[in-house]
Chains A and B, each alone.
Chain A
Amino acid sequence: MENTNPFHYEGELSWCPGCGDFQILKSVEKALTSLNKKPSEVVLVSGIGQAAKLPHYMKANGFNGLHGRALPPAFGIKSFNRDLTVLVTTGDGDCYGEGGNHLIHAIRRNIDITVIVHNNQVYGLTKGQASPTSEVGMVTKTQPFGVVSLPFNPIAFAIAMDTPFVARSYSKDIDFTADLIKQGIETKGFALIDILQPCVSFNKINTYQWYSQRAYKLDNNYDPTNRVKAFEKSLEWGDKIPIGVIYRSQRQTYDETLDRLGIKPQVNSQPDLSKVKSLLSEF
């Protein structure tokens, strides 16, 4: 399996040694390989941040855009070419902070993409400021008296938005994460996978040890289709943090709506001149 990874990138990676991003990269490659995807039919979309560098570190198509703005281009890319497998690799700052508004509306649209959030509860690229998921009280250079704002709960939020696939993982468990990503890709519609990921340089609170002590896998009796139970589960945070598929639902995707309307433009196609002519008569 390892030797036949077509997504492997031969080049330098600029993440800090020990960063959870390496594990997530492996999980993404594993998930895509297990689905027999070809690099040419995959697009990795990202904004800005450490997580957003991922498209440069894999052999696949990539759109590395602006901070907070990974979801809108992902919508444009996927809606125009629905044969593509579109993954968004983003972080807690990129997706829950700068781009929060887009997350609300991307879920509403339910375009068939998989969003992988590298959630390390801190800003890495800008060197250690609080992120939207940082714990209250965390002291940083820009929050010298400790974080005041309540951390964003992406799982509860996504359930409230009736997201088709909502999962949480812990980066250290590569196989488990790969499987969740695989399920996310297989899900029709929007999939949100929040991955807890230690930041070895700037987050001295949520460390490998911290996550390892708390993260536990949901057992087989857990029913992710029960929205109320899922909501209850999403509120569990502290001494125990559940990982796995927390919520699943089904509704029409944006892709299906376009298919139903017969809207599927082709690259390089010209407008039908006789139809254009008929518009003239309306004036």
Chain B
Amino acid sequence: MSFDISIKIAGQAGQGIQSIAEILLKVLKLNGLHVFAYQDYMSRVRGGHNFMQVRISDSPVYSIKEDCNILVALDTNSVDVHRNEVPKGGAIIYDPHSTMVDSPDNRFIPIPMNNLAKEVGSPILSNTISAGSILALLDINKMDAEEFVKKQFAKKGEEVIEKNLKALERGYLYFLENFRSWKFTDIKAQKNNKLIMINGSEAVGFGAIAGGCQFIAAYPMSPSTGVFTYITGKAKEFNIISEQAEDEIAAINMALGASFSGARAMTTTSGGGLSLMAEGLSLAGVMEAPVVVVNAQRPGPATGLATRTGQEDLEYVLHIGHGEFPRFVFAPGHPEEAFYTTIHAFNLSDKYQVPAFILIDQYFADTYATAKEFDLNKVKAISSQPSAFSNDYKRYQITKSGVSPRAYPMQGDFTFIADSHEHTENGHITEDGEVRNKMVEKRFRKLKGMQKEFGKPTYYYGDKLVPSSFKKGKAKTVFLAWGSNYGVVRETVDYLKKQKRSVAMLHFNRIYPFPRKEAIAFLKGAKEIITVENNYQGQFGNILKAETGIEVDGKILKYDGRPFTVEYILKRI
């Protein structure tokens, strides 16, 4: 890592933070640079205080930093809130005409963004002016930015493109003309480094499409809406039925109906909506209906912090739905893992006829990160439905594996019933105790097969990712992570490794069925086990104890609705 720069773009909702960040991120990506960008926003459409954090490096980056090297302050409040986060030698870009600054020191770079924007045509162009100045400060060739502007505004016509190109140039040159002596750091483009840039929502949505999703019904709820929006945007192209349901109860039940007809079906929601789905999920359990459920977590209880992050639904998702039934629960750690995991979730839900949950959170959903291009041949959509059935077909036939052949209507001349009651092999209501026992046992027999499937934990030991064949852990201190904390714990391990500490991370993507054997193997010999979670109770630590008897020695927890940083974790070790 020859450089590691953090930029914060701060202002009110509606001021164009995202427009600036978008140009910046796309241009950095085109230059082969690794970026990691997180948006912190309030639950409002205008006003308030929002910011976007962008970290740039020539090596992969996985988390955000508390301090920043460059602050782009779009209003006075942003200067007040963030000026102390910029160390000496850092830069604070602001508009001297609209932003009041008390005693500006040599970090402050006044750029009259509004006036320059008016000069080139319209105040609305001030975002492009800012982007131009930031690129000049980073000493990045603006040609890529010009290409991006042309693409971005292609639909809006020549005039808009022309004006934005002018604004980009004006911002770029204004910086060079007035602050040429500002030498920030050496950022070398790595043009042959082919990267994609994707956020967590897109990665799950893209995975769903690659996983053969054919039906999605959902109700909009932050922070899950991004996944729904992404898939719906591609619905026509990929032959997917997408419906905005009247509520989450309808959403899950629609998905189960489609699943009955033979569809690969899914729904997306967040905690409150998930609660409404509880009965429907129980129905999926007894009907043995495949369905993929994405739950993007935010802090609760109830409405909680609507636009912020948390990992509070883990124990809930393990048990949601009355009665007992098996399920898959996944919690991918980064966009690439989310992409493959979503495809697996569709395949496995189909194979075992159980609901498969994908747990993400606001931080994960809204964070952009660069990654190597995904390998589309690594995991493919596979259907486990048999193609032919005899006319004495039984929907809930008792089998050794617990999985009954799943047919859909009109696959032959036979008929079948999917039933919410306990039922016979034919799907008819029964109260017979013996049949009941057989059915419960049949459903739970699936666990044996499910346990062997995709989703071993990742042991990260220094700069090595140890594959699952690795038999036991080596480090004295092991940090436990699940879901979105992969990145920040990984970077904590990197930092401590440099201090010659014997540390590792054990990250769990699949939480149910719990990979017991692997967890025990990797944690054997560890002197200290610390769980890092965005909740109050250390839920994963509790699950580990219940599943393996292993007790954690420490918990690093955060439940203020904001993501972890390496600094935060280090202070608490």
Binding site for B on A (CB under 8 A): 11, 38-43, 45, 48, 53, 55-56, 59-66, 69, 71-81, 83-84, 101-102, 104-105, 109, 258, 261-265, 267-273, 275-277, 279-280, 283
Q: How far is the CB of B551 from chain A (nearest CB, A)?
A: 40
**Bound-complex Cα distance A269 to B413 (A):** 21
By the criterion CB–CB under 8 Å, are A81 and B419 in contact?
Answer: no
Partner of B241, one of A42, A71, A265: A265
Binding site for A on B (CB under 8 A): 196-198, 202, 206, 209-212, 214-215, 217, 234-241, 243, 245-247, 249-263, 265, 279-280, 283, 287, 373-374, 376, 380-381, 383, 385, 387, 408-421, 427-429
> Which of chain B's residues have a CB closer than 8 A to the CB of A77?
257-258, 260-261, 409
By the criterion CB–CB under 8 Å, are B416 and A61 in contact?
Answer: yes
Q: How far is the CB of B195 from chain A (nearest CB, A)?
A: 9
Q: How far is the CB of B302 from chain A (nearest CB, A)?
A: 20
Most A-side CB within 10 Å, residue of B250, B251, B376: B250
**Bound-complex Cα distance A71 to B246 (A):** 12
A and B contact pairs by CB, cutoff 8 A, 21 listed: A56-B429, A59-B415, A62-B417, A62-B427, A66-B283, A72-B217, A72-B250, A72-B257, A79-B215, A79-B258, A80-B261, A80-B262, A81-B409, A104-B246, A263-B236, A263-B239, A265-B239, A269-B239, A279-B209, A280-B196, A283-B198
Partner of A63, one of B197, B260, B383, B412: B260
Given contacts A75-B254, A101-B246, contact A276 B376 (CB under 8 A): yes
> Which of chain B's residues have a CB closer than 8 A to the CB of A265?
214-215, 239-241, 263
**Bound-complex Cα distance A41 to B198 (A):** 43
By the criterion CB–CB under 8 Å, are B253 and A66 in contact?
Answer: yes
> Which of chain B's residues have a CB closer than 8 A to the CB of A53?
429
**Bound-complex Cα distance A210 to B368 (A):** 67
By the criterion CB–CB under 8 Å, are A268 and B234 in contact?
Answer: no
**Bound-complex Cα distance A261 to B235 (A):** 10
By the criterion CB–CB under 8 Å, are A283 and B196 in contact?
Answer: yes
**Bound-complex Cα distance A64 to B414 (A):** 17
By the criterion CB–CB under 8 Å, are B417 and A56 in contact?
Answer: yes
Given contacts A53-B429, A62-B417, contact A267 B256 (CB under 8 A): no
By the criterion CB–CB under 8 Å, are B239 and A267 in contact?
Answer: no
By the criterion CB–CB under 8 Å, are B417 and A273 in contact?
Answer: no
By the criterion CB–CB under 8 Å, are B417 and A64 in contact?
Answer: yes
> Which of chain A's residues have a CB closer than 8 A to the CB of B238?
271-272, 275
> Which of chain A's residues have a CB closer than 8 A to the CB of B419?
56, 62, 64
> Which of chain A's residues have a CB closer than 8 A to the CB of B212?
269-271
By the criterion CB–CB under 8 Å, are B381 and A270 in contact?
Answer: yes
By the criterion CB–CB under 8 Å, are A105 and B250 in contact?
Answer: yes
Q: How far is the CB of B229 from chain A (nearest CB, A)?
A: 14
Q: How far is the CB of B314 from chain A (nearest CB, A)?
A: 25
> Which of chain A's residues have a CB closer than 8 A to the CB of B418?
62-64
> Which of chain A's residues have a CB closer than 8 A to the CB of B249?
69, 72, 102
Most A-side CB within 10 Å, residue of B196, B247, B257, B262: B257
Q: How far is the CB of A248 from chain B (nearest CB, A)?
A: 25
> Which of chain B's residues have a CB closer than 8 A to the CB of A277?
376
Q: How far is the CB of A257 from chain B (nearest CB, A)?
A: 10
By the criterion CB–CB under 8 Å, are A84 and B415 in contact?
Answer: no
> Which of chain A's residues have a CB closer than 8 A to the CB of B246?
101-102, 104-105
> Which of chain A's residues have a CB closer than 8 A to the CB of B211?
271
> Which of chain A's residues have a CB closer than 8 A to the CB of B409?
40-41, 43, 61, 77, 81, 84
Most B-side CB within 10 Å, residue of A62, A78, A105, A267: A267
Q: A102-B249, A268-B387 are in contact. List 8 more A-B contacts (CB 8 A).
A: A76-B255, A76-B256, A76-B260, A79-B215, A81-B262, A267-B385, A271-B381, A277-B376
Given contacts A263-B241, A268-B387, contact A276 B209 (CB under 8 A): yes
**Bound-complex Cα distance A109 to B234 (A):** 21
**Bound-complex Cα distance A250 to B428 (A):** 38
Q: How far is the CB of B273 from chain A (nearest CB, A)?
A: 14
By the criterion CB–CB under 8 Å, are A81 and B241 in contact?
Answer: no
> Which of chain B's residues have a CB closer than 8 A to the CB of A271?
209-212, 238, 381
By the criterion CB–CB under 8 Å, are A72 and B254 in contact?
Answer: yes
Given contacts A277-B376, A279-B234, contact A80 B215 (CB under 8 A): yes
Given contacts A64-B420, A102-B246, A276-B209, contact A74 B257 (CB under 8 A): yes
User: Taking CB as reference atom, which chain A residue is nearest B335?
Assistant: A283
User: Taking CB as reference atom, which chain A residue is nearest B263?
Assistant: A80
> Which of chain A's residues have a CB closer than 8 A to the CB of B258?
76-77, 79-80
> Which of chain A's residues have a CB closer than 8 A to the CB of B416?
61-62
Partner of A61, one of B217, B263, B279, B417: B417
> Which of chain B's residues have a CB closer than 8 A to the CB of A69?
249-250, 253, 279-280, 283
> Which of chain B's residues have a CB closer than 8 A to the CB of A81?
261-262, 408-410
The 10 closest A-B pairs by CB, nearest first: A76-B257, A73-B257, A72-B253, A267-B262, A76-B258, A62-B417, A283-B196, A265-B214, A80-B261, A105-B246
Q: How far is the CB of B25 from chain A (nearest CB, A)?
A: 11
**Bound-complex Cα distance A11 to B420 (A):** 19
> Which of chain A's residues have a CB closer than 8 A to the CB of B257?
45, 63, 72-78, 80
By the criterion CB–CB under 8 Å, are A76 and B376 in contact?
Answer: no
By the criterion CB–CB under 8 Å, are B236 and A262 in contact?
Answer: yes
Q: How far is the CB of A216 from chain B (nearest CB, A)?
A: 36
Given contacts A72-B249, A77-B257, A79-B243, contact A267 B263 (CB under 8 A): yes
